[in-house]
Homo-oligomer: A and B are copies of this chain.
Amino acid sequence: MVLRLIQRLWGGLQPGANSYRQSRRVYSLQHQAQVTGEMMEALREVVGSANVSTAMAVRELHGKDESMHRCRPPDIVVWPQNMEQVSRLAEICYQHNVPMIPFGTGTGLEGGVGAIKGGICFNLSHMNRILDLNVEDFHVTVEPGATRKALNSYLRDSGLWFPVDPGADASLCGMAATSASGTNAVRYGTMRENVINLEVVLPDGRVLNTAGKDRRFRKTSAGYNLTSLFVGSEGTLGIITKAALRLYGTPESIVSAVCAFPSVQAAVDSTVQILQCGIPIARIEFLDDVMVGACNRFSSLQYTVLPTLFLEFHGSDQSVEEQVQQTEEITQTNGGSDFVWAKDQETRTKLWTARHNAWYAALALRPGCKGYATDVCVPLSKLPEIMVETKKDLVESQLTGPIVGHVGDGNFHCIMVLNPDDLEEVQRVKEFTDRLARRALALHGTCTGEHGIGLGKRKLLEEEIGEVGMETMRQLKATLDPKNLMNPGKVL
Do residues B209 and A466 form an inter-chain contact, with CB atoms below 8 A? yes
A43 at the interface (CB under 8 A from B): no
The distance in angstroms between the C-alpha atoms of A210 and B225, with both chains bound, is 14
A218 touches which one: B180, B208, B218, B380 (CB < 8 A)? B380
* Interface of chain A residues 262 through 276 with chain B (CB within 8 A): 272, 276
The interface centre, meaning the residue of A202, A214, A223, A278 with most chain B CB atoms within 10 A of its CB, is A223
A359 to chain B, nearest CB (A): 18
Which of A18-26, A121-129, A331-339, A439-447 contacts its partner? A439-447
Do residues A476 and B479 form an inter-chain contact, with CB atoms below 8 A? yes
A377 to chain B, nearest CB (A): 5
The distance in angstroms between the C-alpha atoms of A76 and B98, with both chains bound, is 51
Return the CB mask of A246-257 against B: 1 if under 8 Å, else 0: 001101000000
A213 touches which one: B137, B457, B466 (CB < 8 A)? B466
Do residues A218 and B410 form an inter-chain contact, with CB atoms below 8 A? yes
A14 at the interface (CB under 8 A from B): no
A491 at the interface (CB under 8 A from B): yes
Across the interface, which residues of B come within 8 angstroms of A222, CB to CB? 446-448, 452-453, 457, 461, 464-465
Do residues B409 and A219 form an inter-chain contact, with CB atoms below 8 A? yes
Do residues B136 and A380 form an inter-chain contact, with CB atoms below 8 A? yes
A225 touches which one: B206, B214, B229, B452 (CB < 8 A)? B229
Which of A27-35, A61-69, A467-475 contacts its partner? A467-475
A178 to chain B: closest residue by CB = B221
Across the interface, which residues of B come within 8 angstroms of A1, CB to CB? none
Do residues B316 and A216 form an inter-chain contact, with CB atoms below 8 A? no
A136 to chain B: closest residue by CB = B381
Do residues B380 and A214 form an inter-chain contact, with CB atoms below 8 A? no
Do residues B212 and A379 form an inter-chain contact, with CB atoms below 8 A? no
Do residues A226 and B469 form an inter-chain contact, with CB atoms below 8 A? yes
Do residues A210 and B469 form an inter-chain contact, with CB atoms below 8 A? yes
A215 touches which one: B134, B209, B223, B446 (CB < 8 A)? B446
The distance in angstroms between the C-alpha atoms of A465 and B211, with both chains bound, is 6
The distance in angstroms between the C-alpha atoms of A327 and B469, with both chains bound, is 46
A319 to chain B, nearest CB (A): 6
Do residues B461 and A223 form an inter-chain contact, with CB atoms below 8 A? yes
The distance in angstroms between the C-alpha atoms of A179 and B251, with both chains bound, is 30
A232 at the interface (CB under 8 A from B): yes
Known contacts: A228-B225, A466-B212, A475-B479. The answer to whether A448 contacts B322 by CB under 8 A is no
The interface centre, meaning the residue of A136, A190, A224 with most chain B CB atoms within 10 A of its CB, is A224
A379 touches which one: B134, B192, B479 (CB < 8 A)? B134
A465 touches which one: B193, B212, B221, B491 (CB < 8 A)? B212
* Interface of chain A residues 433 through 460 with chain B (CB within 8 A): 444-453, 457
A468 touches which one: B207, B448, B465 (CB < 8 A)? B207
A220 at the interface (CB under 8 A from B): yes
Do residues A217 and B461 form an inter-chain contact, with CB atoms below 8 A? no
A190 to chain B: closest residue by CB = B219
A277 at the interface (CB under 8 A from B): yes
A219 to chain B, nearest CB (A): 5
A400 at the interface (CB under 8 A from B): no
Do residues A221 and B469 form an inter-chain contact, with CB atoms below 8 A? no
The distance in angstroms between the C-alpha atoms of A377 and B233, with both chains bound, is 28
Across the interface, which residues of B come within 8 angstroms of A280, CB to CB? 280
A228 touches which one: B218, B228, B471, B492 (CB < 8 A)? B228
Do residues B469 and A137 form an inter-chain contact, with CB atoms below 8 A? no
A231 to chain B: closest residue by CB = B225
A221 touches which one: B138, B218, B219, B452 (CB < 8 A)? B452
Do residues A249 and B278 form an inter-chain contact, with CB atoms below 8 A? yes
A185 at the interface (CB under 8 A from B): yes
A290 at the interface (CB under 8 A from B): no
A469 touches which one: B134, B212, B476 (CB < 8 A)? B212
Taking A215-B446, A218-B377, A223-B465 as known contacts, 4 extra A-B pairs with beta carbons closer than 8 A to each other, sorted by chain A number, are A209-B465, A219-B450, A222-B448, A316-B322
Chain A residues at the B interface, C-beta cutoff of 8 Å: 134, 136-139, 178-181, 185, 190, 192-193, 202, 206-226, 228-229, 231-233, 237, 248-249, 251, 272, 276-278, 280, 316, 318-319, 322, 377-381, 409-411, 444-453, 457, 461, 464-466, 468-469, 471-473, 475-480, 491-492
Q: List 6 A-B contacts (CB under 8 A).
A: A179-B221, A208-B472, A222-B465, A223-B465, A224-B491, A476-B476
**What are the 7 A-B residue pairs with the smallest beta carbon separation, nearest first?**
A228-B228, A136-B381, A179-B221, A220-B446, A249-B278, A137-B379, A479-B479
